[in-house]
Amino acid sequence: MELYLDTADAKVVAELSQVLTVAGATTNPTIITRSGKTPEQVAAEMIEVLSPDQKLFMQVIAEDAEGMLAEAHRICSLREKNMCVKIPVTVEGMKAIKAAKADGLCVLATAIYSADQAFLAAMNGADYLAPYVNRMENLGDGVGQALDLLQMLAGSGLEAKVIAASFKNVYQVHQLIAAGIQAVTLPPDIAWAMVKHPSTQIAVDEFNDAWEAAFGRRSF
């Protein structure tokens, strides 16, 4: 299972990469605009903190297939390897996904709201499929659609990986990991919430208080 961080904050990626096995970072136009930085700044800072083996995903802005393909090449040229382009699964985006894969680019199909959209993008060659789990939950059953997608891919032999996105709580992530999801991309606060269970610190404090009371120190 691959764990990605959905953020434009390179410092957070560096910090969490020390704590967790992070496969890379995903960004989108909204995340970048909210960062107060230019896309060029975000890309440069991310490339600085990511190892060569960690992937970076950035999204096209053009809405026509020709423009998307041109931007896809520009994005993928930012790094020697492990630089991937995100392309929405619009009609024009589906065209661009096919063209980008024909050119050998790493492609993530994004803005997915149904298992069917994702499956068709996989047939077009997309390497990663990003269903918007929480947004789909608001419209019906996001987790269920993601699970359907896993079965559809397994049944067809397609090699695309599902990189589930748009989470609002830890339980949504838990359900998909338990079902064998290939990848998730998490907002940093969700990633931290999965690590920092309050009862763990309470237990550690109890152990160390007992140790200090017995031996007069808080070290071995």
Q: How far apart are CA 191 and CA 185, in angstroms?
A: 9
Which of 55, 81, 86, 168 is catalytic? The answer is 86
For residues 157 and 126, is the Cβ–Cβ distance under 8 A? no
Burial of 67 (0-12, 13-18, 19+ CB in 10 A): middle
Q: How far apart are CA 119 and CA 139, in angstroms?
A: 19
Query: In a 3-state reduction of DSSP, which class is residue 180?
Result: coil
How far, CA to CA in Å, does 25 sit from each of 28, 173, 185, 193, 207? 10, 17, 8, 18, 36
Q: How far apart are CA 64 and CA 107, in angstroms?
A: 16
**Catalytic residue at 196?**
no
Catalytic sites, residue numbers: 86
